[in-house]
Amino acid sequence: MTSARRRLFGTDGVRGVVNQYPMTAEFALALGRAVAQHLREEKKNRRPRVVVGKDTRLSGYMLEEAFCAGLLSQGADVFLAGPLPTPGLAFLTTSLRADAGVVISASHNPYHDNGLKIFAADGFKLPDEVEAALENQVADPAFLDRHRPRPDGVGRAERLTDAVGRYVVFLKSTLPRNLSLEGLTLVLDCAHGAAYRTAPMVFEELGAKVHLFGARPDGVNINLGVGSLQPELCVKQVVLAGADLGLALDGDADRVIFVDGRGRLVDGDQIMNICARRLQRLGRLNRSTVAATIMSNLGLEIALGRAGIKLVRTAVGDRHVVERLRRDGLNFGGEQSGHIIFLDYGTTGDGILAALQTLLVMKEEGLTLADLADLMEPLPQVLLNVKAARPREAETNQAVAAQAAKVAARLGDRGRIVLRPSGTEPVVRIMIEGEDLAEITALAEETADLVARELDAEGGL
């Protein structure tokens, strides 16, 4: 009997260090075979069609070749999109009526990591039970061997030379045809990642003056000192150029962090507030509700409430936000980290799309990004990561639970605490927010010390 529990697939596909299991050529080959066989069964042995894209990591060549060999050997036809943002691959999957789409990327991680993320025919990530079934097939090569196609049944591969152009046309189509970005100066940081061609093409074709950097990938510089997790250089460039704003994408361009004309960071919470208010004003915000994660600032909830908008919270990860949107019939949500999801346009977070929709608000209302960002006042927030040998025990340790309860009781309705093990690193994440920065900093450090003692910290904060 097969297990329904996923062991390798996380909230964002399979991810790990390159040339260490599971990010090996052998695993990629096996997973490609399993995906093709699953699709053949689902399509009653009709030849499946799979779109494959990647970011700019050196290991993308190896994993792409291996994964595609697995697909082809098991009878699937492959369309190679080359370097393309993750949301662009999801778009192409539905646009080409493909049976699945695969992105080879580790998003914001450094170059030595990589990952495999699979989209179903509808552009959404695979259900948990399908990912579990794929893992079981990978672990049972004899099953796949029994279903090898005849020599005339192996697949064909075709390179999509217009993949970037198709996606650029789609992105521009989300704006009114008469909208121009002429007169707007922006700094664009592509993180040496998948959007290095797509993003500048979009903004320049719409008329913006673009100061571009982070657009010279060499296979190992993706996310290195640039991108949405390291926006300091973007801030500096906005100030030096006297730009209206800056945009910092991550390696696969499914998230974005903004910099306003004053050189201040504008995060995903503030962008959700800006865009949700517009959708609400136009009567296009389903159920007057936004979905965000438990990490979103309480200030977002307060600001949305003033506009008559309800905030519902999910577990961390854009996958969980999308699941909540679909379950409740909602159409907008995201994460503080910059994953912004417009379900009316796409199936996953899209940094370029989020930037375009924010620029649309600026144009419509005649306001600067700084003005719009000020519509939300974030509460002071402290986030600490505690490296631990047993981070999962944070969910069951009694002393840790008692400390969290004590902090929550002290803050009352003036703030909150979120304490959770990371899903991608051996750390416990502690987030405390409240009205008094000194108070919550002291509480966060006290809590971190206790977590370190209880869970055998390996290296401190």
* Confidence class for position 1, pLDDT limits 50, 70, 90: very low
Do 39 and 114 share a structural domain? yes
Please report whether residue 443 resides in a domain: yes
* Confidence class for position 424, pLDDT limits 50, 70, 90: low
* Confidence class for position 143, pLDDT limits 50, 70, 90: confident
Q: Which residue has the higher pLDDT, 375 or 140?
A: 375
Q: Is 179 exposed, middle or buried (0-12, 13-18, 19+ CB in 10 A)?
A: middle
Query: What does the pLDDT read at residue 389?
Result: 85
Query: What does the pLDDT read at residue 460?
Result: 42
| 142, 163, 184 - which closes a domain | 163
Query: What does the pLDDT read at residue 329?
Result: 98
Please report whether residue 171 resides in a domain: no
Span 377-409, pLDDT tens digits:
999 999 999 998 888 899 999 999 999 999 999
Kindly name the residue from 107, 228, 296, 337 that is annotated as catalytic: 107
Do 314 and 398 share a structural domain? no
Lowest-pLDDT choice from 108-112, 132-136, 214-218, 452-456? 452-456
Please report whether residue 188 resides in a domain: yes
Query: What does the pLDDT read at residue 105?
Result: 98
Query: What does the pLDDT read at residue 2?
Result: 36
Query: What does the pLDDT read at residue 340?
Result: 98
Active-site residue, 3 included? no
CATH number at residue 402: 3.30.310.50
Residue type, 357: Q
Do 154 and 106 share a structural domain? yes
Do 32 and 102 share a structural domain? yes
Do 338 and 310 share a structural domain? yes
| Percent residues over pLDDT 90 in the chain | 88
Span 44-57, pLDDT tens digits:
878 999 999 999 99
* Confidence class for position 3, pLDDT limits 50, 70, 90: very low
HEC per residue, the chain: CCCCCCCCCEECEEEEECCCCCCCHHHHHHHHHHHHHHHHHHCCCCCCEEEEEECCCCCHHHHHHHHHHHHHHCCCEEEEEEECCHHHHHHHHHHCCCCEEEEECCCCCCCCEEEEEEEECCCCECCHHHHHHHHHHHCCHHHHHHCCCCHHHCCCEEECCCHHHHHHHHHHHCCCCCCCCCCCEEEEECCCCCCCCHHHHHHHHCCCEEEEECCCCCCCCCCCCCCCCCCHHHHHHHHHHCCCEEEEECCCCCCEEEEECCCCEECHHHHHHHHHHHHHHCCCCHHHEEEEECCCCHHHHHHHHHCCCEEEEECCCHHHHHHHHHHHCCCEEECCCCCEEECCCCCCCCHHHHHHHHHHHHHHHCCCHHHHHCCCCCCCEEEEEEEECCHHHHHCCHHHHHHHHHHHHHHHHHEEEEEEECCCCCEEEEEEEECCHHHHHHHHHHHHHHHHHHCCECCCC
Span 326-343, pLDDT tens digits:
999 999 999 999 999 999
CATH number at residue 251: 3.40.120.10
pLDDT value at 167 more than 50: yes
Query: What does the pLDDT read at residue 432?
Result: 96
* Confidence class for position 6, pLDDT limits 50, 70, 90: low
**pTM listed for this prediction:** 0.92
